[in-house]
Structure 1
Amino acid sequence: MAIETASKTAASAAPVPGAVPDQEADNLTLQRIYHWEKYRAKEIFLTQPIQGQIRDWTWEEAVDESRRMAAWLRAQHFPAGSHIAILSKNSAWWIMADIAIWMAGHASVAIYGSLTAAGAREQLEHSDSVACFLGHTDDKHITPDALPPGIKVIALPTIDPGPATPWDSIIEATPPMEESPVRGGDEVATIMYTSGTTGAPKGARHRFRSFTGFASAVTRVVGSSPDERMLSYLPLAHIAERALLEAAVFHNGFRLYFVETLETFRADLRRARPTIFFSVPRLLLKFQQGVYEKVPRRKLERLLKIPILNNIVRKKIVTELGLDKTHLAASGSAALPMDTLMFFRSLGLNMVEGYGMTETGITHTPKNGRSRPGFVGDAAPGVEVKIAENGEVLVRSSMNLLDYYKNPGALQGAMTEDGYFRTGDLGEVDPEGWLKITGRVKEQFKTSKGKYISPSLIEKQLSVHPAVEGCCVMGENMPQPFGMVTAAARLHSIGDDKAQLDAFAEEMKRLLTQVNASLEPWERMAFLVVTDEHWTVSNGFLTPTLKLKRSVLEGANAIWFEEWARRGTPIVLHLTRHKLPRTHPE
């Protein structure tokens, strides 16, 4: 039988199955923004580093710019509910543009600033966007001239406007909208595109009531004090940043800081000194490895066991990281290795995990910041969860997407008859309602021995090694699975030094032995392939949210599978600069 759990408020839902009770009008997103505009008018809301300078906006100033932009958008006479894109890295103007789009009666389309010009153009065309706020992006070919014809382009101050209309020019020339228009909970607020790990990205449409649910899920963990500070650096086009950060900021009045570039990240983080810090496993792992480079693991573990000294060491490390004021740190987007979670907790940081998807919003958070290693929390208010016969996690709430834009067939296949969304994740729910994610339905594969393998559980252990930048477990229809890791930075630093290559291969062999020792016999990897190839967004191996595209990686390396297996060695150094794999013997 399926296992079902639900938060206590779910039972009182009225029209929408699993919904929180009908929200008061002033608890929807625009109404909350007007609240802070009035009651925290002179308090700083946004802090943006730009060209070596720091610019602040109070709530009054930021909403004033949004009112002016909203008035300009209305003057364009777009049909009500038109789609207007924001194609940019995170910035204060991203937030103000989103508010303006909503005030003008339209829906925003969040597009990743890490997409290629072709990918961005495809989503602009698919979304039928009539206008686009264009800011700094990774691809230099994304310029106002490169966007689809007929789209009005507003250039954010982070780029050279070229033929586009500059944001500042509009703000200077346009009087602010005097009225404070509101939007209903069932109106479409935004389109967010899925990351595309299993196929072409789909445009998930969310209503304004979803944002209220997002904020509710976060508030139960962090509280609602407007004195909190957050740092925005993960893509606002992703559900995690949009829900955990933007929705929480709008509803609770937090102060929001931004990062200018990857190079200024450390300085921007130290400036913000966030009280709430959200990140993803890949970046948290880099933080952990950076600490170990300065203080070797065993030495740090010894220091943290010494009374009095341990507090000094903890404070020094978290201060250097810029997290000394952080009372809650959270990870999402993918599973966080247990070793990394416990590392941050050993430093005194209350590190927790949450769970959500583009289609469902943030459905699980640990109430009041409680943490249980391996679990992502219990169901947020208004969320119903059940585990299907095959172990898949099914979710129903008012945060569920309205539909996939122009793709009704995809939604039909993603929903159960009783309105639950099929997450594609495998999970377990304990008697207290806490959810543990154990893998992905589609990532599972069967070996030639008939055993099913859940690769993510093995990959979590491989990813802890400081040299491992990314990993993937494969081996469908092979006798045993095998692992592939990229250690590009380490291998490129070693070059062709045979002694160092052999030493590194031995290091990887120890990792393989260590991980295999924790696995069931049928799960143990026959060998580990170590490559010097970078897996990036630009070469197609990663999605814009830095998730691995398994099918792409497997397709690119399939020609080697039989050769690697025939070698019969535990470690294969797949050096792309040499074109051929080198093996490391027993």
Structure 2
Amino acid sequence: MSRYASRATLPHCLLHWAETSPNRVYMTQPMPGGRTLEITWAQAADQALRLAAYIKGLDLPPRSSIALLGRNSAHWIIADLAIWYAGHITVPLYPTLNGETAVYILEHAEAKAIILGKLDGIADGWKDIAPVLPAELPTISLPLSPRADVPQYDDIIATTEPLADVQLPDADQMSTIVYTSGSTGRPKGVMHSFGTMCSVAQALRDTYKVNQDDRMLSYLPLAHVAERAVLETASLYFGFSVFFADKLETFQQDLQRAQPTIFFSVPRLWTKFYLAINEKLPLKKQKVLFNLPLLGKLVKKKVLTQLGLDKCRLAITASAPLPPNILQWYRGLGLELLDVYGMTENYGYSHGSRPGEVRVGYVGHANPGVEQRIAENGEVQVKSPGQMMGYYKDPAKTAEDMTDDGFLKTGDRGEIDPQGRLRITGRVKELFKTSKGKYVAPVPIENKLNVHQKVEVICVTGPSQPQPFALFMLSLDAQAELAKGHLSKDTLTQEFTDLLAGVNATLEDHEKLDYVVVVKDQWTMENGFLTPTMKIKRNIIEDRYLSHADEWLGQRKKVVWE
């Protein structure tokens, strides 16, 4: 039996698989020139221990915070483990942060060093971050890092002996500080222990039967707990293979290489897949072909193969609801999308839909070991094995977000059905009041509107207005088509008018939207309108647009172009 068979922490897990499956490939990393780098479990452990020995040699104070900045890569995960083997705490930074927020996190976390990973200044915020990084901060460059003037990973691995005296952590020790993306205000540092990080394994084993033969593609940010829980933690705990996406242009190729058996994504991408297939094979034609006895199965298989999901047995969606028609479409293909729900504060370990027990619009049952309840104000409250240790340097905020009996106040409103499945109905603080004194919950309306292939992001707003209205941000493809004359504003105006009428027919009178505004700017993570998990920052958007509401109302149009 392996000396590390307990898999009590992620550092235990890596050594366990290095001992029991040394030559099995753990990670496959795309490299420049179209080649790929395969890293076995034994190699991953060896490199992590060599990097750990180098970090130890920096003579940092015990339990120092070390920042980890970079897009997803095999070396990001190895660096995460090396920091732990060296006895320190990982502080992952979103690669899309602006310079101001990056500096705030480094200072707040009191980072004593930084490890730079895959960055290019095109798909990330490196150009904004680079000029403001403290010059005195000890820096290490991983492969694919933009810095060649600091100690390099390959040199460190080639010249440093592996750490000999490995002190493995206890489950209750702090492992990481994860800074929330924050839809309002400064990001908060959420402290997690090694034990809370491994808590997610129970549901993955018992409910989803995750095992060593599974495969995943990593592309959602590892700096966020969702990817860190479902991919990093799960792969280390269960010993399955991980493939990495190179860039947006090669995503389909990377997906085909991975042939994932588990695919974890967000509604935005599930919707893009759906719309892309519909452009090639219109829904009317699909309906005919899918219903043909023998041919229907072949066509469905071909669609899944084209998406790179024909081997997928577990399809997970999270962060926001998917429209029911898209969920049903995937189910018709033979892919049952399972909604999961969690927060940074409980390491994403809260709720999940179970195979065969999905109820559309619900995020599923409480995971094993999780307690759930609805407070008097409609707020969902959760007590989870993945519960945080608290907010770093902010005991007052920790006390504010926890109940006296240890439940986390999620800030989400919800309801629980007789089978125990949870439905999220909006945010407690997102309700706004119109000038008629009526309260409106924007999220359910946004979900109803989110079905047009040319619209990327939607925000329903209208506090102090007679009726709510919606802001539409067009997709980059739609903007390009308009600029080239391949698409007309008149066509979109009519389509948006019809969409508005259809949605309004399903709403209460006080919820009906007066009009839609097509905004001219792109909302991005870089300009602060979206969080790194692609959620809208409602307060930022409202600060930018609400001052124009009276003018738009005065135009008496159903669709206004900014």
Q: Would you call these one fold, judging by a TM-score over 0.5?
A: yes
> Which residue in the other structure is 1:284 paired with?
270
Which aligned pairs between 1:98-109 and structure 2 lie closer than 5 A?
98-109=80-91
CA contact (8 A) 2:518 2:561 kept: yes
| 1:251 CA drift (Å) | 0.8
Q: Letter of the aligned partner of 1:568 in structure 2? A: R
How far apart, CA to CA, are the structure 1 residues paired with 2:497 and 2:286? 25
Residue 463 (structure 1) aligned with residue 450 (structure 2): yes
Q: Mean Cα displacement is larger for which, 327-336 or 43-52?
A: 327-336
1:90 corresponds, among 72, 76, 82, to: 72
CA contact (8 A) 2:338 2:354 kept: no
Q: Letter of the aligned partner of 1:47 in structure 2? A: T
> Which residue in the other structure is 1:7 paired with?
none
How far apart, CA to CA, are the structure 1 residues paired with 2:166 and 2:38? 23
1:65 corresponds, among 20, 34, 47, to: 47
Residue 254 (structure 1) aligned with residue 240 (structure 2): yes
> Which residue in the other structure is 1:14 paired with?
none
| 1:448 CA drift (Å) | 2.1
CA contact (8 A) 2:8 2:171 kept: no
Structure 2: runs of 5 or more not aligned: none
| 1:340 CA drift (Å) | 2.2
> Which residue in the other structure is 1:579 paired with?
none
| 1:508 CA drift (Å) | 0.5
Q: Letter of the aligned partner of 2:514 in structure 1? A: A
| 1:466 CA drift (Å) | 0.6
| 1:408 CA drift (Å) | 1.9
2:502 corresponds, among 503, 514, 524, to: 514
2:127 aligns to what SS in structure 1? coil
Which aligned pairs between 1:488-507 and structure 2 lie closer than 5 A?
488-489=475-476, 490-495=478-483, 500-507=488-495
How far apart, CA to CA, are the structure 1 residues paired with 2:181 and 2:216? 24
Residue 548 (structure 1) aligned with residue 548 (structure 2): no
Q: Letter of the aligned partner of 1:359 in structure 2? A: E
Residue 219 (structure 1) aligned with residue 201 (structure 2): no
Residue 386 (structure 1) aligned with residue 373 (structure 2): yes
2:17 corresponds, among 36, 40, 64, to: 36
Which aligned pairs between 1:150-229 and structure 2 lie closer than 5 A?
150-229=136-215
2:474 corresponds, among 483, 487, 499, to: 487
Residue 478 (structure 1) aligned with residue 460 (structure 2): no
Q: Letter of the aligned partner of 2:459 in structure 1? A: C
1:260 aligns to what SS in structure 2? coil
| 1:25 CA drift (Å) | 5.0
Residue 132 (structure 1) aligned with residue 132 (structure 2): no
Q: Mean Cα displacement is larger for which, 365-374 or 388-397?
A: 365-374
> Which residue in the other structure is 1:581 paired with?
none
What CA deviation, in whole Å up to 9, does each residue of 1:121-149 have, x standing for no partner? 22112211111110233134267674223
Cα distance, 1:368–1:39 mapped onto 2, change above 3 Å? farther
1:265 corresponds, among 226, 235, 251, to: 251
| 1:277 CA drift (Å) | 0.1
Q: Letter of the aligned partner of 1:31 in structure 2? A: H
CA contact (8 A) 1:327 1:349 kept: yes
1:472 aligns to what SS in structure 2? strand
| 1:403 CA drift (Å) | 1.4
How far apart, CA to CA, are the structure 1 residues paired with 2:76 and 2:98? 19
Q: Mean Cα displacement is larger for which, 487-496 or 192-201?
A: 487-496
1:343 corresponds, among 314, 325, 329, to: 329
Q: Mean Cα displacement is larger for which, 211-220 or 502-511?
A: 211-220
Q: Letter of the aligned partner of 2:263 in structure 1? A: F
What CA deviation, in whole Å up to 9, does each residue of 1:175-221 have, x standing for no partner? 11234432111100111111111221111010111112122233333
| 1:372 CA drift (Å) | 2.1
What is the TM-score when the length of structure 2 is the normalising length?
0.95
What is the TM-score when the length of structure 1 is the normalising length?
0.91
> Which residue in the other structure is 1:6 paired with?
none
Q: Mean Cα displacement is larger for which, 399-408 or 246-255?
A: 399-408
> Which residue in the other structure is 1:5 paired with?
none
How far apart, CA to CA, are the structure 1 residues paired with 2:545 and 2:146? 41
| 1:159 CA drift (Å) | 2.1
Which aligned pairs between 1:528-547 and structure 2 lie closer than 5 A?
528-547=516-535
Structure 1: runs of 5 or more not aligned: 1-22, 575-586
| 1:547 CA drift (Å) | 1.2
How far apart, CA to CA, are the structure 2 residues paired with 1:72 and 1:81? 15
1:314 aligns to what SS in structure 2? helix
How far apart, CA to CA, are the structure 1 residues paired with 2:111 and 2:203? 30
Cα distance, 1:261–1:476 mapped onto 2, change above 3 Å? same
| RMSD after superposition | 1.9
How far apart, CA to CA, are the structure 2 residues paired with 1:236 and 1:63? 19
Cα distance, 1:563–1:147 mapped onto 2, change above 3 Å? same
Q: Mean Cα displacement is larger for which, 225-234 or 363-372?
A: 363-372
How far apart, CA to CA, are the structure 1 residues paired with 2:22 and 2:283? 47
| 1:451 CA drift (Å) | 2.1
What CA deviation, in whole Å up to 9, does each residue of 1:396-419 have, x standing for no partner? 123111111122222121111111
| 1:344 CA drift (Å) | 1.6
